[in-house]
Structure 1
Amino acid sequence: MKFKFERLGLLDYAEIELADLTLICGENNTGKTYATYAIYGFLRSWRQILHVVLESEIDDLLKENEKYQFNLEVMFSEKKLESYFSKMGEIYVAGLHRAFATDEALFNETKCRISLTQSFDLLSVEYQRQVKAGSSGKVIATITKEAESPILEVLVADAESLQRRFGGLSDFIVDAIADIVFSPYLPGFHISSAERTGSAIFRKELDIARTRMLNALHQMDSKELRRNPFLLFKEMDTGYPWPVEDNVDFVRQLEELDKRTGELARTHPEILKAFDDMLGGSYKVIKEQLVFQNKGADKRRFSMNESSSCIRALLDVSFYLRCKARAGEFFIIDEPELNLHPKNQRAFARIVARLVNAGVKVFITTHSDYLIKEINTLIMLNQKTMHSKKVQKDYKYEDDELLDSEKIRLYITDRVLRENPAGGRRIRVRTLTAANIYPDRGIEVPTFDETIELMNEIQGEILYGGEFSFGDEF
C-alpha cells in the first residue's frame, strides 16, 4: 500500500510505500511525525470511513436486489477497489485534524491519495456472521460467503430490520465487506509513541476519557446539555493525538493484558526471550502490582517508578509482543532508541528483524545510526556467501535475524527541487526521499553519514591538522 500526501504539516509532498519493514529517518522538525501520525490515523479510522463510502450504495442494492446477494468480485474489481481507496483518502483528510488533536485549518490544503501495491484473492475467504437483535438474541439475519465463491449472501429473518435508521442491516453488510475485501490490505495495528516513557510512569493517573468528559461538562451549559446530551460526545472529541491517546489507553490495561498470551508469543517464544535478554529481566504482574524483575540470582523487583528509563521506555513494547502481536499486523514504534545504550539499539534491530521474518510488519521512525547500521549488517549477511556465512557464525547471528533487502523501504526527510506548478523556476520542497538499498552494502543514509564524516573530520583536524611544538599546551 502506498500513501501520497501533499501539504501535510511540515511536508510539502511525501510518498510512502509500506513494506515489511518501513523506516523514516531525518533531522528534527522535518516532518517524520506528521507522516507517521497521518498513516496511523488512517489505519485507526478506515472502517468508519468505509461506512461513509459504502452505506448509501449498499442501501440502494438492498432495495433493488430481492435476494440480497452481492457479487464482491464485480463490486470490488482491482480498478474499482483503487477508486474506493481514493475516496477513503479524500474523506480521511477532512477529519485529519482529529488524529493530531489540532485545529482543522492546519490541514485545509492537505491531500491524501492511497493506492494499492499488491492484490489479495478474496475468493478464498470464508465468512459467516449472525446478526442478532439486542438483548433478546433473536437472529434477524445471517451473512455468509463460501470459500471460492464471490457471492456475499444475506438471509433476512426479520424484514423490519431493513427499515431501521440506526443499526440497520447495511451496517453489518459493510462490516462483512470490510472483513473480507479491505482488511487484508489494512490489518490490525499497534503504536508505541515517543511519549511512552511518561505513560509508563503516570499510567494510573492518565485517564484521558475521564479528563475529557470533565472538561467538556465544565465548559458546556447545563440547559444545552439536557436538550441534547449527544453534544457531550462532540465536545469530548478533542485532547491528545490519537497515537498518544491509544498508547496511554494501552498501558492503563496492562494488568488485564497480562492474563493473555498472544499469537506471536505462542509461535515465536524465541523473540520474547531475545527481548528479555536485551533488558536483563522481564515485566511481571504480581498481586496486581506491575514490576520489572531482574534476571540472575537475586531476581530483584522494581516498580516502574524505581526502574530505569530504558525499562519504562519498553514497557508497552514488551506487553504488545507478549499479549497481542500477531503475523500480518502493523507495529509502529516512534524512536525505539529512546533511552537505549548503543549495545541495546543493536539488539533491538535484531529483534525487529525477527519480527519482520515472523510476519509482523514494522514501521519505525529513528535518529539512531546504530540501529540503521545493524540493519545494514543483517541485510549484508543475507547474501549467504561462504564469507558472509563465516561472519554470521563468528558473530553469532541467527538465520531468523537476517533481512531481505527487497522487504525494506527507508525514507529520509529532505529538501529537493521540483517543477513549479505555477510555472517558472523550479522550487525547493520538503519531502521524503527513498533511500537506495543494496543486498551487498545495505542502506545509504546520507543524513547520518554526513554528520559522522564531519565529526571525524573535526577530530582528525584536532589530532593531526597542526604542527606540534614542545611548548604547546594541551
Structure 2
Amino acid sequence: MFDFSKDLIILCGPNNTGKTYAAYSIYGIYSLAQNNRRRKPIKGRTLQTFEEDGSISLNIEDFFNEVKKQFIKEYEDSFIKFLPSLFAADDSFFKDSQISIQIEDKDIINDIYTKGFKNQIKLGSNLTIQLEKAPESLICEIITIQEGPQHSVFKSLGAELVYDTLIELFSQSIFNHVYITPAERSAINIFSRELSVRRNAIIDELLELREKKSEIDPLKKVQRYPLPIRDSLAIAEDLGNLQKEKSDFEFLANRLEEYVLKGKIKVSKEGDLQFTPNKGKVKNLNIHLTASIVKSLSNLVFYFRHLAKKGDFIIIDEPELNLHPDNQRIIARFLGEIVNNGFKVMISTHSDYIIRELNNMIMLHSGGDKAKELISKYEYKDYQLLDYNRVGSYLFKTNKNVSLEMSETGFEVSTIDEEINKLNRTSEDIYFSLFD
C-alpha cells in the first residue's frame, strides 16, 4: 500500500523486486484519470431532483459520499482492464491482478473548493447551467433550455452534465496530472525518430491487412512498449510543437542546466533536441553526440521549461542514471526543491548517495535554529530542505514491499546498508591480510 498524501515517495530495494512495475502501475492509475479512459459511474440519486425541478442546492460532500463507493469500484475495474495496454502484455498475464483504492474525503472536498469550478456548463444555445459556490454546497440551476418536445430530454441531459462535471472535479482532485521519466529515457531521446518511422510502417501494414480482412492482429505490434515509454516517445516526437508552451517553472530547467549539465538544451527547427556546452567551441550538438548525462536529463529540462504545472505528479525512475556521485547529491537537493515548489514526486533509486543526501536535507529541516550554521557551511538552501512528515519510503523485497520508518533523522534502507558494510569488511580483511 502506498500513501499518496506524501509529497516525496521513494522506492528502494534490490533488482527484480517490482519497483518498475509499481512505478508504471501508479503512472497508469493517474494516466487513466488524466486521459478519461475510465467508465463513468451511474448518476447519483441526488441529481434526480435537479432533473425534475431544474435547480438544486447540492452539498458536494454529501454527493461525494453517495457516489464514492461506486466511483472507486468503477475506477478499480477500469484499471484492471487497462493493465494489458499499460504494460503492452497479454491479457492472461493480469488475470489474477487486484487493486484497492482508498480516499480521504475531507482532503478531496477542500481541494475542490480551493481550486473552484466552472461557473457555467453549456451545450450550444440549447442548454446553459449556472453553478454557484455557496458555503459547503454548490447551487446548480438551469437558466436556459430549449422549449418544445425535447424539453425533458435537455433537462435529463442537464443532470448528466452536472454529474459529469462533479465526477471530473473529484477525479482531478484525487489524481494529479502525471509525468514520467522512465529509465529508458536516454534511448528514447536518441531513437524516437527511428521508432516513429517504424510505427508509421506498422500503421500502413494495419491498413493493408484491414483491406484484406486478415485475421492477424497488427495492433499487438503497435503496442510493443509499455504506456510510460509510449507517452515519452509521443513527447519526444512532438518537441517542435510542445516548445511553444511556456511553463512557470523554467527556473528549475535553468537550475539543472547550470549546476548539472553545464550547458543549454534547445529544440532545433526540425524538432530535435540539441545541446550547447557552456565551455566549448561546438554549439548545438545533436543529442546523440552528447554525454550520457545530457541524454538522461534533457527531457526533464524540457518538461520544466515547457510542460510543468504546479501540482503535477512527477515519477523519475532511477534519477541517478549516468550521474557521478557529486551530481547524484545535486539531484537529491534538486528533488527537494521540486517538492517545495508544489510538485508531488516519486523516485525509484539504488543510490546510497541520493538517500544519504535526502536524509541530510531532512535532518537540517528538523534541526531548527541549530541547523542554520550547518546549512550555510555545506551550501544547502532552505528551499531544498525536506519535512520528514511529507516524505514516504518503501523497501521492495520479492513479491512484497514494506513502508520504512521515517523520522527527523530520515530513513534507513537495510539492503543498501548491508552491502556497504559487507564491502567495507571485505576490503579491510583483504587489505590487512595482504599488506599490513
**Residue in structure 2 matched with residue 247 of structure 1 by the alignment:** 232
Q: Which runs of 5+ in 1 are unaligned?
A: 1-14, 133-137, 226-230, 416-429, 469-474
Is 1:200–2:189 an aligned residue pair? yes
2:174 corresponds to which of 180, 185, 192:
185
Deviation at 1:301, TM superposition (A): 2.9
Deviations 1:198-220 (A, max 9, x none): 11111222327635523433544
Which of residues 28, 45, 52 in structure 1 aligns to 2:32? 45
3-state secondary structure, aligned to 2:174: coil
Residue matched to 1:448: 416
Measure the CA separation in 1 of the matches of 2:184 and 2:152. Answer: 45
Q: In the alignment, which residue of structure 1 is the partner of 2:426? A: 458
Q: SS where residue 109 of structure 2 aligns?
A: coil
Question: What are the within-5 Å matches in structure 2 for residues 145-224 of structure 1?
Answer: 145-148=131-134, 149-155=137-143, 157-158=145-146, 172-207=161-196, 210-220=200-210, 222-223=212-213
Q: Which amino acid in the other structure matches residue 195 of structure 1?
A: E
**Quick check: 1:405 aligned with 2:374?**
no
Aligned 1:290-439 pairs, distance under 5 A = 290-296=273-279, 298=281, 300-415=283-398, 430-439=399-408
Q: Whole-Å Cα distance in 2 between the matches of residues 68 and 389 of structure 1?
A: 58
Q: Percent identity?
A: 27
Looking at structure 2, the residues matched to 461 and 400 of structure 1 have their Cα atoms a distance apart, in angstroms, of 43
SS for the counterpart of 1:282 is strand
Q: Secondary structure at the match of 1:355?
A: helix
Query: Distance between the aligned counterparts of 2:325 and 2:418, measured in 1?
Result: 19
Computed over aligned residues only, the root mean square deviation of the Cα atoms, in angstroms, reads: 3.2
Structure 1 Cα separation of the partners of residues 142 and 218 of structure 2: 33
* 2:86 aligns with one of 79, 99, 109: 99
- Contact 2:33–2:172 (CA<8 Å) still a contact in 1? no
Instruction: State how far apart, in whole Å, the 1-side matches of 2:34 and 2:267 are.
Output: 34
1:113 to 84, 87, 100: 100
Contact kept in structure 1, 2:44 and 2:66, CA below 8 Å = no
Taking a change above 3 Å as real, the CA distance of residues 169 and 382 of structure 1, as seen in their structure-2 partners, is: same
Task: Summarize the Cα distance change of 1:143–1:29 in structure 2 as closer, same or farther, 3 Å threshold.
Answer: farther
Of 301-310 and 176-185, deviating more is 176-185
Assess, with a 3 A threshold, how the Cα gap between structure 1 residues 77 and 127 changes in structure 2: closer, same or farther. same
Shift, 1:170, TM fit: 7.1
Matched residues in 2 for 1:156 and 1:340: separation?
Answer: 60
CA distance in 2, matches of 1:233, 1:145: 47
- Aligned partner of residue 415 in structure 2, secondary structure: helix
- 1:87 is aligned, of 50, 70, 74, to 74
Shift of 1:237: 7.3
Structure 1 residues 216-235: aligned runs within 5 Å: 216-220=206-210, 222-223=212-213
> Aligned residue for 1:276?
257
d(CA) in 2 for partners of 1:237, 1:72: 46
Please report how far the alpha carbon of residue 285 of structure 1 lies from its aligned counterpart in structure 2 after TM superposition.
2.7
Partner of 1:142: 128
- Between Structure 1 and Structure 2, how many residues are aligned? 422
Q: Tell me the distance in 1 between the aligned counterparts of 2:58 and 2:88.
A: 39
Residue 280 of structure 1 aligns with an amino acid whose one-letter code is K
CA drift of 1:51 comes to 5.8
Where structure 2 has 5 or more consecutive residues not aligned to the other structure, the ranges are none
Work out whether 1:22 is the aligned partner of 2:9: yes
The structure showing larger relative contact order (alpha-carbon pairs under 8 Å, at least 6 residues apart) is 2
Q: 1:51, 1:171 within 8 Å by CA — same for their partners in 2? A: no
Does the CA-based 8 Å contact 1:250-1:316 persist in structure 2? no
Residue identity matched to 2:405: N
Give the CA deviation at 1:105. Answer: 1.0
Q: Is the 2:362–2:386 Cα contact (8 Å) retained in structure 1? A: yes
Q: CA deviation at 1:120?
A: 3.0
Question: Hey, what does 1:262 align to over in structure 2?
Answer: 247
Please state whether the residue corresponding to 2:290 is helix, strand or coil: coil
Alpha-carbon separation, structure 1, partners of 2:15 and 2:308 = 30
TM-score of the two chains, using structure 2 as the length reference: 0.86
Contact kept, 8 Å, 1:49 with 1:91, in 2: the verdict is: no
- Which residue type is aligned with residue 256 of structure 2? F
Query: Where does 1:121-140 land on structure 2 (aligned, <5 Å)?
Result: 121=110, 122-123=112-113, 125-132=116-123, 138-140=124-126
| Cα separation, 2, equivalents of 1:171 and 1:309 | 51
Counterpart amino acid of residue 387 in structure 2? D
Q: Distance in 2 between matches of 1:48 and 1:232?
A: 25
Encode CA deviations 1:99-149: one digit per residue, 9 max, x unaligned.
1110111111111111124443234523134445xxxxx433334422234
Change (3 A) 1:139 1:319: farther
CA contact (8 A) 1:199 1:248 kept: yes
**Quick one: structure 1 residues 402 and 161, their matched pair in 2 at CA, closer, same or farther if it must change by over 3 Å?**
farther
Q: Report deviation, 1:411.
A: 0.6
TM-score (norm 1): 0.80
Kept in 1, the 8 Å contact 2:38–2:79? The answer is no
Offset of residue 182 of structure 1: 2.5
Using a 3 Å threshold, how does the CA distance of structure 1 residues 444 and 308 change in structure 2: closer, same or farther? same
**Alpha-carbon separation, structure 1, partners of 2:281 and 2:100:** 55
Is the contact between residue 123 and residue 150 of structure 1 (CA under 8 Å) also seen in structure 2?
no
Judge conservation of contact 1:72–1:152 (CA < 8 Å) in 2: no
Q: Contact 1:216–1:236 at 8 Å: present in 2 too? A: no
Judge conservation of contact 1:21–1:361 (CA < 8 Å) in 2. Answer: yes
Paired residues of 1:126 and 1:146 also in contact (CA < 8 A): no
Secondary structure class of the residue paired with 1:29: coil
Shift of residue 60, structure 1, vs aligned partner: 8.5
Match of 1:65 among 49, 52, 58: 52
Question: Which whole-Å CA distance do the structure 2 matches of 1:50 and 1:61 have between them?
Answer: 26
